[in-house]
Amino acid sequence: MFDDKKMFEPVEIGKGVFWTGFYDKAADLHCNPYLIVEGDEAVLIDGGSRPDFPGVMMKIMKTGIIPENIKALIYQHYDPDLCGSLPHLESIIDSPGLRILTNTENIRFIRHYGGSTPVQSLDTIGYKFSFKSGRTLEFFNTPYAHTQGSFITFDHDTGILFTSDLFGSYSNNWQLFLKLEEKCLDCSLEGKCPSGLSICPVKSVCQFHKGLMTSERALKYAMEVISSIPFEKIAPQHGSILEDLETIVCIVKHLKNLKDVGVDAYLKGLSYDKIGNINPLLKRLELKGRHIG
């Protein structure tokens, strides 16, 4: 479980990388904004919701960074739990040099949060952002996992991969770092838990992805993209941080082979004729048109 003493503190999870999330004991969905500090510069990844803003901003200030030195807000998709605090961040940072980095497909939606900061599409910067020191963040597209413009961010210096909703989970038994017991690594997730857990963290991850990702194909493709990246640690926007490689391998295997994801679960058991036959609609409209004519 999370140490209550750390509730109001940023947690450094890698060199210059701070978890600045908000911990709510009663919640089953925990959000994890991350601040990367390099010298006198910083970027904030998936800054968080409007209600979480006071806690997130307090943690950012405790890292010692001056808000106006935050150079970029990275939004890996456009949901309110990532972008809701955008106007508040702009007001506190108050810098003409601030910019938003995201995919083109996200821009039209992020604008609805009322922000005025210039937005730069990732394709215009070659899917890379570099600090003055040369430290580089690289961006990888994971389309429809779970939005059209979803992407993930890799910090080459620390090997941390920021995966947004990928590897997220629902849980009211939340912990900041997850490490599976050895007996859990080969579990099929069927039957009784080999560790005697009342809540299986891997099942929580799988259920999260079944409900949130668009399809089996989109999730599998995202896992293939992730498998090509030389990461050392996974930092999702929800759920727990994964730094144990055996735990990561176990979860990747389950997600890569996960069935009944998104629309695939909804359409399960329905025949193609029932899904794709629009002839009755065309006939009705055609008859209506003739009648009107």
Read off the CATH number of the domain in which 180 is found: 3.60.15.10
pLDDT of res. 64: 95
pLDDT of res. 288: 66
pLDDT of res. 243: 95
Tell me how many domains the chain contains.
1
Whole-angstrom Cα Rg for the chain: 21
Residue 227 lies in a domain: yes
> CA 42, 65, 239: angle at the middle one, nearest 5?
65
Residue 12 lies in a domain: yes
pLDDT of res. 283: 73
pLDDT of res. 13: 96
Residue 225 lies in a domain: yes
Q: Distance of alpha carbon 139 from its chain centroid, rounded? A: 13
Residue 52 lies in a domain: yes
pLDDT of res. 277: 64
Residue 198 lies in a domain: yes
pLDDT of res. 293: 40
pLDDT of res. 63: 96
Residue 175 lies in a domain: yes
Percent of the chain with pLDDT over 90: 68
Residue 114 lies in a domain: yes
pLDDT of res. 244: 94
Domain that holds residue 107: 4-266
Residue ranges in the chain modelled with pLDDT below 70: 1-7, 25-28, 271-278, 281, 288-293
Residue 276 lies in a domain: no
Report the alpha-carbon distance of residue 129 to residue 122 in Å, rounded.
9
